[in-house]
């Protein structure tokens, strides 16, 4: 399968991954033949890319760090928590803890797996999917940093709840289709204080978790908000969540821009080490991301184009590639692959956005 934009997906191509809404309801099931009507509807929902089966490579299966079922469950738990806060209640800490435990159990099993999949979600459900993803990405980083179960649980809870304060900001701003005005931006920034206030009063949620919500927009160089904390003044968990938050935000479609590709986001994070992000934490974070995920179409320095078949965790920039087009743009017939771990003079020069 491969990820293609809904602008470029051809009608009649077959959906390779089910698309869900924030309540876990199926919007379009795996195996569905895309029609012009479906593609238009997906674009209206703000979904700009989908996974499709293609004629070249049908046998690629991508292992995800967390199963689809758990991801849906976690997204739902997050949605329930935010709706409860909106209604004047507090999040149910038991359910939140269960969701975090489920993710920890799964990532402990899939330790060697890199993050390959882009989560496809509609704009309307952006916040819930974002919280779930930030939780998964933060936990992978915590694991790479050698955290024990206790620390992972606290980090995961802080990550899952980092944006709960958004429940106190009006929906039309949170889900706005436009770039914020200065006033809207000031209001949205308040979500960190709202989150702290909500969580510090929630039963069975530690004060550290409340501080993660308060501090996740602080930046390592002191240029963040709300208090301009810097370096070690920022809680380590909040420094982890800050990287995961930015990674996920840039990797998903927003109304005003398309998602960036993984290698582009990795590059941005690499360039922000020591300024926005704690360099040691950002380094551990990047080690979990496949810059050229399985299924992406890459341009090679040899002039050939191909699809990524597999990636080694210890050398993520040297994938195993099945060749699709030669250096004159002619289709490559038969099964020809190049393993960049062996062909050391060839490298990936670009990822082709489809």
Per CB under 5 A, residues contacting Fe ion are 163
Residue 229 C-beta: closest distance to Fe ion, Å: 15
In the complex, the smallest distance separating the C-beta of residue 205 from Fe ion, rounded to whole angstroms, is: 17
Shortest spacing between CB 236 and Fe ion, in angstroms? 18
**Which CB sits closer to Fe ion, 54 or 253?**
253
Min separation Cβ 80 and Fe ion, Å: 19
**In terms of CB distance, is 190 or 322 closer to Fe ion?**
190
Provide the greatest CA pair distance for the chain: 64
Show the 3-state SS of 232-256.
HHCCHHHHHHHHHHHHHHHHCCECC
Q: Select 71 or 162, whichever has its Cβ closest to Fe ion.
A: 162
Nearer to Fe ion, 53 or 248 (CB): 248
Residue (113 or 215) nearer to Fe ion, CB: 215
Instruction: Please report how close the Cβ of residue 215 comes to Fe ion at its closest, in angstroms.
Output: 10
> Considering beta carbons, is residue 20 or 214 the nearer one to Fe ion?
214
Reference 79, options 167, 171, 174; nearest CA is 167
Separation CA 188–CA 23 (nearest Å):
24
Instruction: Output phi, psi for 37, to 5 deg.
Output: -65, -45
Distance between CA 300 and CA 344 in Å, rounded?
12
- CB closest to Fe ion, residue no: 163
**C-beta closer to Fe ion: residue 214 or 292:** 214
Round to whole Å and give the CA distance between 140 and 135: 9
Q: How far apart are CA 341 and CA 269, in angstroms?
A: 25
Task: Give the C-alpha separation, 97 to 152, whole Å.
Answer: 11
**Number of other CB atoms surrounding residue 126 within 10 Å:** 19
Q: Which of 161, 186, 184 is nearest to 79 (CA)?
A: 161
Least distance between Fe ion and beta carbon 198 (Å): 13
CB of 300 to Fe ion, least distance (A): 38
Q: What are phi and psi of 315, to 5 degrees?
A: -135, 65
Per this entry, what is the length of the chain? 354
């Amino acid at each position: 399968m491969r990820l293609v934009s809904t602008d470029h997906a051809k009608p009649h191509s077959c959906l390779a991954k089910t698309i869900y809404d924030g309540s876990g309801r199926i919007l379009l099931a795996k195996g569905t033949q895309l029609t012009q009507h479906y593609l238009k509807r997906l674009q209206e929902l703000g979904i700009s890319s989908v996974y499709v089966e293609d004629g070249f490579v049908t046998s690629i299966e991508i292992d995800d760090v967390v199963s689809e079922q758990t991801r849906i469950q976690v997204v739902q738990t997050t949605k329930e928590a935010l709706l409860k806060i909106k209604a004047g209640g507090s999040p149910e800490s038991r359910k939140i803890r269960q969701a975090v435990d489920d993710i920890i159990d799964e990532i402990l099993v899939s330790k060697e797996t890199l993050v390959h999949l882009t989560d496809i979600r509609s704009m309307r459900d952006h916040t819930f999917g974002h919280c779930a993803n930030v939780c998964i990405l933060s936990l992978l980083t915590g694991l790479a940093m050698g955290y024990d179960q206790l620390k992972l649980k606290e980090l995961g809870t802080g990550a899952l709840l980092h944006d709960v304060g958004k429940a106190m900001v009006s929906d039309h701003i949170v889900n706005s289709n436009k770039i914020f005005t200065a006033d809207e931006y000031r209001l949205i920034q308040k979500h960190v204080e709202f989150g702290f206030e909500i969580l510090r009063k929630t039963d069975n949620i530690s004060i550290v978790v409340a501080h993660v919500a308060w501090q996740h927009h602080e930046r390592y160089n002191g240029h963040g908000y709300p208090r301009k904390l810097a370096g070690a003044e920022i809680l380590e968990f909040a420094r982890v969540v800050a990287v995961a938050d930015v990674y996920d935000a840039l990797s998903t479609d927003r109304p005003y821009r398309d998602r960036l590709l993984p290698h582009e986001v990795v590059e941005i994070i690499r360039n922000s080490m020591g300024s926005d992000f704690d360099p040691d934490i950002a380094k551990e974070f990047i080690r979990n991301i496949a810059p050229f995920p399985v299924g992406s179409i890459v341009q090679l320095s040899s002039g050939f184009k191909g699809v990524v078949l597999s990636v080694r965790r210890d050398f993520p920039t040297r994938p195993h590639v099945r060749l699709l087009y030669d250096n004159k743009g002619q289709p490559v017939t038969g099964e020809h692959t190049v393993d960049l771990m062996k062909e050391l003079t060839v490298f990936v020069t670009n990822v082709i956005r489809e």
